Amino acid sequence: MNLNNPITYLKGVSNARASLLSSELGLSKLNDLLHYFPYRYIDRTKFYKINNLIDNNSEIQLFGRIIELKTIKQKKGSRLVGKFQDETGSMELVWFKGHKWLKDSIKINTPYIIYGKINYFNGNFSIVHPEIDLVDEYKKKIQAKLQPVYSSTEKLVNSGLSNKMFRGYLQDLLLQIFEQIQESLSEEIINEYGLLGKRDALLNIHFPKSPEILAKAQYRLKFEELFFIQLQLVRKKLIRKNKIKGYVFEQVGDTFNNFYNNYLPFDLTNAQKRVLKEIRRDVASNAHMNRLLQGDVGSGKTIVALLSMLLAIDNGFQAAIMAPTEILATQHYNAIQELLEQMNISVELLTGSSKVKKRREIHESLENGNLNILIGTHALLEDKVKFRNLGIAIIDEQHRFGVAQRSKMWQKNELPPHILVMTATPIPRTLAMSVYGDLDISVIDELPPGRKEVKTVHRYDSNRLAVFNFMKQEIEKGRQVYIVYPLIQESEVMDYKDLMDGYESVSREFPSPKYQISIVHGKMKPADKEYEMQRFVKGETQIMVATTVIEVGVNVPNASVMVIESAERFGLSQLHQLRGRVGRGADQSFCVLLSSFKLSAEAKTRLKTMVETSDGFKIAEVDLKLRGPGNIMGTQQSGVLNLRIADIVKDTAILHKARNTAIEILQEDPNLSKPENKAIHKTYAEIFKASGAWSNIS
Ligand code: ADP
Ligand code: MG
């Protein structure tokens, strides 16, 4: 028997059962089963006495004898009842299925260990469908004090696959292949961290001899799991750095210096300076830059992007920024035009609504090299857009990141341009390490000086009138206000109704002509949306009632109040993004979170977090803890969701060790060819054969 054999090699696993195990749990080879770890353990060191039982529905273990078995007719079918007795009293064991087999196999008046959930009815204790083991048989099993419990599915349970059978399979398997289990880490790593060997780890994760050794087994297996993921990520990064050449921006030239010394409207923050240095170091080496720039809304990413583009121009290259929406692209274009006003640099905007004539001009000046900077939407990816020599492409993903098809932009290039992806969604460090561990990451973790924190409060619906009064005061001072309603796909009709009801009550409270209100929602035509948006941008309306469409990058510095209706229905990152719409001007800004009185514990935590902090990274950490990595945007394609035992949120210390170890090993032995790394090499190759990562190097 070897670990690549199908599960049917085990006694008692029929073809039908094997195919169910495969479709339900993805277990097809013996090795899969070996790595299917219990999700909890039952303490089997503890025995109860019948006269001490209490009615608490817990799982208990008893030692005694079955002294009588009888079948009792009921309305439908019958039940089998055993009288079970220890030296302190007696109780009932009840079965509704499998009578014949049980009747034949149960030995009367013989010592048994029984296990199950306690029931209390009519003054009697009973256990329905208990696990029963003859004491003699039980002793022959792998002696586990903590008994494993495997997660199963309804289909598997209905097909008769009990947890006891699961344990039986694993016991069989371990007894037969124990000697064949190969070490997957090097001796050096095992010694350095005092890890359990692979065999002992696997044996004890399934059948732990003690809580202490279980903890060691878990640690070892978590380390191993995270280590091989990091090994792959770090290796990918090394390959990129060593093998993929990039353009070298050797000099910091006149364009950059002129702008920096004469037209930069403010001093850069330390974080901006640091990030710029990181970028300069990348583009001056002859490797290809692939960098993720994270920075909260308002942290000043645009200027970093611009300065990076000026570096490219200084070295004879063109530059581009691509944004996810037309509004955002236009905003970038306007901001950059203004900053470069006094300089002799050509900048153009290309979006879906650019006129044909303009397009032609742009295409031409791109190809002949007259155009320095092109800003736009996905229109930049069209076939006709051909740069003469694109040196850097900046992708502003805002909060919808994901790796798009980008290579079209540089089809004329000899080498790929340097890539800088900007995102406003802070990703917790550990998650970033696991999801983007192969990219370089820069973080702007400091807001420009003088920024006033948005004052955030949580109010219940019953206080709405006070909130309206507050809005009136602010409008009186000349400010503008957003009121946002949730938009959640499943209940679109309801959401729409909520929005319209809200709009009506706002209209009543803020009557025209004194007050003017814009409304924007998903059911409107784009042209109407744009019209309403523009009225608000121009200050013709004081209130903007909207669904979350305004999330994506509207910049109205005069808007200083954000009221979020049904705030308990929004996720943390959404709330954070929405709040980022205010606090952009010089005035004190406010965010009011309105909610109903009844809140789930999670909703309470979300609202409390928003009130307490405006640090996007802290908010992201809480979000990750509340929702787990699976629900955080951007994680879907990464391995963190398929972890068997490690947990990105809880096992951060192990993650750091695993990553550092991977870096150390690859620095000394990039191809894992040294004899001492043989075990690692072998495992790595097995794990990642399918992904093709290996072939890149060897
Ligand atoms: P984001 O990171 O959200 O893209 P922006 O680049 O749009 O942020 O910057 C937000 C605002 O802050 C802009 O008005 C910008 O001019 C200003 N800003 C950026 N950096 C600084 C700085 N170092 N000092 C003062 N203001 C700055
Ligand atoms: Mg921005």
Q: Which residue has the least CA distance to atom 22 on ligand 1?
A: 448
Q: What is the pLDDT of residues 404-441, one digit of tens each?
A: 445 556 666 778 899 998 988 777 877 777 777 778 88
Quick one: how far is CA 111 from the chain centroid?
Answer: 51
Q: Which residue has the least CA distance to atom 19 on ligand 1?
A: 300
Sheet with strand 559-564: strands edge to edge: 455-460, 590-595, 559-564, 480-484, 543-546, 517-520
Instruction: Identify the three-state secondary structure at position 424.
Output: coil
Q: Nearest Cα to 650, choosing from 628, 630, 632, 634?
A: 628
pLDDT of residue 489 exceeding 80, the answer is no
pLDDT of residue 686 exceeding 70, the answer is yes
pLDDT of residue 628 exceeding 80, the answer is no
Residues 6+ apart with CB under 8 A from 171: 141, 142, 206, 207
Q: Which residue has the least CA distance to atom 5 on ligand 1?
A: 300
Residues of the chain with CATH 2.40.50.140: 48-143
pTM: 0.73
Distance separating alpha carbons of residues 98 and 82, to the nearest angstrom: 13
Lowest mean pLDDT segment, chosen from 276-285, 362-371, 394-403: 394-403
| Stretch (H or E) spanning 59 | strand 59-73
- Which of 260, 303, 399 is the best mutation target for the ligand 1 pocket, counting ligand atoms within 8 Å of the beta carbon and taking the most? 303
Q: Which residue has the least CA distance to atom 24 on ligand 1?
A: 448
User: What is the distance in A from the centroid of ligand 2 to the CA of 394?
Assistant: 12
The rounded mean pLDDT for the chain is: 88
Q: Which residue has the least CA distance to atom 27 on ligand 1?
A: 448
> Binning pLDDT at 50, 70 and 90, where does residue 696 land?
very low
> Binning pLDDT at 50, 70 and 90, where does residue 372 land?
very high
Distance separating alpha carbons of residues 317 and 315, to the nearest angstrom: 6
Q: What is the pLDDT of residues 100-109, one digit of tens each?
A: 888 888 999 9
Distance separating alpha carbons of residues 274 and 422, to the nearest angstrom: 15
Q: What is the pLDDT of residues 290-300, one digit of tens each?
A: 898 998 878 89
pLDDT of residue 581 exceeding 90, the answer is no
Q: What is the CB neighbour count within 10 angstroms for residue 641?
A: 15
Q: Which residue has the least CA distance to atom 4 on ligand 1?
A: 301
Nearest ligand, CA 335: 1
Q: What is the CB neighbour count within 10 angstroms for residue 662?
A: 22
Q: 287 and 240 in contact (C-beta within 8 Å)?
A: yes
Q: Nearest Cα to 365, choosing from 373, 377, 355?
A: 373
Instruction: Identify the three-state secondary structure at position 429.
Output: helix
Distance separating alpha carbons of residues 150 and 167, to the nearest angstrom: 8
The stretch 326-355 carries a mean pLDDT of 93
Contacts of residues 45-54 at CB distance under 8 Å and 24 or more positions apart, as own/partner, are 45/145, 49/86, 49/87, 49/88, 49/89, 50/84, 50/85, 50/86, 50/88, 50/89, 50/90, 50/91, 50/125, 51/88, 51/89, 52/88, 53/91, 53/118, 53/125
pLDDT in the model for residue 630 = 64
Q: What is the pLDDT of residues 376-401, one digit of tens each?
A: 998 898 888 999 999 999 998 755 44
User: What is the distance in A from the centroid of ligand 1 to the CA of 324?
Assistant: 19
Q: Which residue has the least CA distance to atom 10 on ligand 1?
A: 298
User: What is the distance in A from the centroid of ligand 1 to the CA of 447?
Assistant: 8
Domain 254-444 listed as CATH 3.40.50.300: yes
Nearest atom (ligand 1) to Cα of 299: 2
Domain 455-613 listed as CATH 3.40.50.300: yes
User: What is the distance in A from the centroid of ligand 1 to the CA of 179?
Assistant: 62
The stretch 342-358 carries a mean pLDDT of 94
User: What is the distance in A from the centroid of ligand 2 to the CA of 302?
Assistant: 6
User: What is the distance in A from the centroid of ligand 2 to the CA of 378?
Assistant: 17
User: What is the distance in A from the centroid of ligand 1 to the CA of 448?
Assistant: 7
The stretch 155-176 carries a mean pLDDT of 89
Share of the chain above pLDDT 70, in %: 92
pLDDT in the model for residue 414 = 76
Q: Nearest Cα to 114, choosing from 50, 173, 183?
A: 50
pLDDT of residue 87 exceeding 90, the answer is yes
pLDDT of residue 488 exceeding 70, the answer is no
Nearest ligand, CA 297: 1
User: What is the distance in A from the centroid of ligand 2 to the CA of 639?
Assistant: 29
pLDDT in the model for residue 274 = 97
Nearest ligand, CA 396: 2
- Which of 259, 260, 263, 266 is the best mutation target for the ligand 1 pocket, counting ligand atoms within 8 Å of the beta carbon and taking the most? 266
Distance separating alpha carbons of residues 298 and 401, to the nearest angstrom: 18
Q: What kind of fold does domain 48-143 have according to CATH?
A: OB fold (Dihydrolipoamide Acetyltransferase, E2P) (2.40.50)
Q: What is the pLDDT of residues 115-139, one digit of tens each?
A: 999 999 888 899 999 989 898 887 7
Distance separating alpha carbons of residues 263 and 205, to the nearest angstrom: 63
Quick one: how far is CA 350 from the chain centroid?
Answer: 33
Residues of the chain with CATH 3.40.50.300: 254-444, 455-613
pLDDT in the model for residue 584 = 80
Distance separating alpha carbons of residues 439 and 278, to the nearest angstrom: 13
Distance separating alpha carbons of residues 183 and 683, to the nearest angstrom: 9
The residue type at 465 = L
The stretch 544-570 carries a mean pLDDT of 83
DSSP states of 613-673 as a string?
A: ---HHHHHHHHHHHH-GGGSTT-TTSGGGG-SS--TTT-HHHHHHHHHHHHHHHHH-TT--
Lining residues, ligand 1, CB within 6 Å:
266-269, 272, 295, 297-303, 424, 448
The stretch 210-233 carries a mean pLDDT of 94
Q: What is the pLDDT of residues 635-672, one digit of tens each?
A: 555 555 578 899 888 898 999 999 999 999 999 999 99
DSSP states of 122-162 as a string?
A: TTEEEEES-EEEEHHHHHHS---SEEEE----HHHHHTT--
The stretch 470-484 carries a mean pLDDT of 96
Q: Which residue has the least CA distance to atom 20 on ligand 1?
A: 300
User: What is the distance in A from the centroid of ligand 1 to the CA of 305?
Assistant: 11
pLDDT in the model for residue 523 = 79
- Locate tokens 């978590």: which residue? 222
pLDDT in the model for residue 672 = 94
Nearest ligand, CA 323: 2
Nearest atom (ligand 1) to Cα of 269: 23
pLDDT of residue 281 exceeding 80, the answer is yes
DSSP states of 378-393 as a string?
A: GGGGSTT---S-EEEE
DSSP-derived secondary structure letter, 439? S
pLDDT in the model for residue 404 = 43
pLDDT of residue 487 exceeding 70, the answer is yes
CA torsion through residues 532, 533, 536, 540, sign: negative
Q: Which residue has the least CA distance to atom 16 on ligand 1?
A: 300
User: What is the distance in A from the centroid of ligand 2 to the CA of 669?
Assistant: 41
Nearest atom (ligand 1) to Cα of 555: 7
User: What is the distance in A from the centroid of ligand 2 to the CA of 392?
Assistant: 17
Q: Which residue has the least CA distance to atom 21 on ligand 1?
A: 448
User: What is the distance in A from the centroid of ligand 2 to the CA of 216?
Assistant: 46
Of residues 548 and 342, more confidence is placed in 342
Pairing of strands 78-86, 59-73: antiparallel
The stretch 27-44 carries a mean pLDDT of 91
pLDDT in the model for residue 325 = 81
CA distances (Å), 31 to each of 19, 37, 49, 77, 450, in order? Answer: 16, 12, 40, 42, 59
Side-chain half-sphere CA neighbours of 413 within 13 A: 22
Instruction: Identify the three-state secondary structure at position 55.
Output: coil
Q: What is the pLDDT of residues 238-276, one digit of tens each?
A: 888 888 888 999 999 999 999 999 999 999 999 999 999
Distance separating alpha carbons of residues 117 and 45, to the nearest angstrom: 16
User: What is the distance in A from the centroid of ligand 1 to the CA of 623?
Assistant: 25
Nearest ligand, CA 300: 1
